[in-house]
């Protein structure tokens, strides 16, 4: 399949979509990406462990276990053997929880043809090492181009063909800068782009990945204060200052600040902090209402990426000397026994700072201890 793209000079050129793709992960987002690729004419095999989901996809063209009432392309085929999915693929998308990226990447490496590009579609930072998801995959998949896909995307809306956009990021070699249509990023973007799904291309893996990881923690903060009874002013403040925390961490790791104002940064942050479709926002909302953690989601063991990443992100930030007060507040509440009301009241009582970093000063907050205690009581 050939598509047209326009380079910086406005000259159209052909970019070739991948013919055969593998999606590793049969959850909601893996299913959505596989459906988008299949809809665009790519041969897709999706791997998963759940026999019921595999049978549902192959027999009923649905995945009711993860994405209810969302029809899938009939050409999408699910398998339970990793080798059947990966062996002949031109590109592999790994779409599993961040905690499984290392083990799954190692498993994929056993069957992957030399030089096959791999896109990581999980968001987070590894707890033990502080590595980004693509850095983990690079360790486990030497010799393979590794990139990522990230953006403001809910799986069900994607499958239902709501207009959606995301970013595809891979390193760009000198050759790719001369002929971008040959790069894995452009080829995957072309493979994903349909009349309803629009992919953008980036070479800033650090910026794209930091946006995807940190937004989950900020969404927990937004959920907590929304659950405590606060509304739009509060959420807008957390989103804006959370974006600044993203930028600071990305910059410290060599990413570009402007990446964080794009789809994988501000876009994903806004979406995740504004809807209970996000598990991070939903968990925060329940905690803010006073529901004990073990009783959230009606007691079901729901994986919430921001919960673990509140620790891995702040551990990394501390090593780099980056101040991330919102993320630190979420960590304190979730993992260090801090009272939700007192922790957020202390966050709001931090010294007054300038927004332009160049001004670089802090002034003591005028609130008294009683003022802070009153706010803490309101939040609690």
Catalytic sites, residue numbers: 215
Q: Which residues pair with 51 in a beta bridge?
A: none
State how far the alpha carbon of 208 is from the alpha carbons of 4, 151, 280, in Å.
25, 8, 19
275 C-beta neighbours (distance < 10 Å), count:
12
Report yes or no: 94 and 122 within 8 Å, Cβ to Cβ.
yes
Burial (Cβ within 10 Å: 0-12, 13-18, ≥19) of residue 188: buried
| Number of residues that make up the chain | 380
Q: Where are the alpha helices (DSSP H) in the chain?
A: 28-39, 51-55, 82-86, 101-109, 133-140, 155-159, 174-178, 184-192, 205-227, 232-252, 268-272, 279-288, 305-320, 325-335, 340-348, 369-379
User: How many angstroms from the chain centroid is the CA of residue 186?
Assistant: 20
Following DSSP, what letter does each residue of 262-289 receive, concatenated?
Answer: SIIIIIHHHHHTS-TTSHHHHHHHHHHT
Report yes or no: 227 and 289 within 8 Å, Cβ to Cβ.
yes
Report yes or no: 15 and 192 within 8 Å, Cβ to Cβ.
no
Residue with tokens 């030399």: 114
């Amino acid at each position: 399949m050939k598509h047209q793209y326009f380079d910086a000079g406005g000259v159209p050129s052909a970019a070739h979509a991948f013919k055969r793709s593998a999606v590793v992960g049969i959850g909601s987002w893996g299913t959505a990406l596989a459906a988008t690729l299949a809809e665009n004419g790519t041969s897709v095999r999706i791997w998963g462990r759940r026999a019921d989901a595999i049978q549902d996809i192959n027999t009923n063209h649905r995945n009711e276990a993860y994405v209810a009432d969302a029809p899938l392309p009939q050409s999408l085929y699910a398998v339970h053997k990793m080798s059947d999915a990966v062996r002949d693929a031109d590109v592999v998308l790994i779409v599993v929880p961040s905690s499984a990226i290392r083990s799954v990447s190692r498993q994929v490496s056993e069957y992957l043809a030399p030089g096959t590009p791999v896109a990581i579609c999980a968001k987070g930072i590894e707890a033990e090492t502080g590595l980004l998801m693509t850095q983990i995959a690079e360790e486990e998949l030497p010799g393979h181009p590794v990139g990522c896909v990230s953006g403001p995307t809910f799986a069900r809306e994607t499958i239902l063909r709501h207009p959606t956009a995301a970013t595809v990021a891979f390193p760009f070699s000198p050759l790719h800068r001369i002929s971008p249509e040959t790069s894995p990023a452009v080829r995957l973007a072309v493979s994903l782009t349909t009349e309803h799904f629009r992919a953008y291309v980036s070479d800033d893996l650090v910026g794209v990945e930091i946006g995807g990881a940190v937004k989950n923690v900020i969404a927990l903060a937004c959920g907590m204060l929304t659950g405590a009874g606060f509304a739009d002013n509060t959420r807008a403040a957390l989103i804006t200052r959370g974006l600044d925390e993203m930028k600071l961490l990305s910059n410290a790791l060599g990413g570009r600040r402007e990446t964080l104002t794009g789809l994988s940064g501000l876009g994903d942050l806004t979406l995740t902090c504004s809807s209970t479709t996000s598990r991070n926002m939903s968990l925060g909302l329940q905690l803010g209402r006073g529901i004990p953690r073990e009783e959230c989601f009606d007691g079901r063991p729901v994986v919430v990426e921001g919960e673990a990443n509140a620790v891995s992100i702040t551990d990394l930030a501390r090593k780099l000397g980056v101040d991330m007060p919102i993320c630190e507040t979420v960590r304190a509440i979730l993992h260090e026994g801090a009272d939700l009301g007192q922790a957020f009241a202390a966050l709001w009582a931090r010294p007054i700072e300038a927004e332009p970093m160049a001004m670089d000063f802090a002034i003591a907050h005028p609130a008294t201890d009683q003022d802070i205690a009153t706010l803490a009581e309101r939040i609690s």
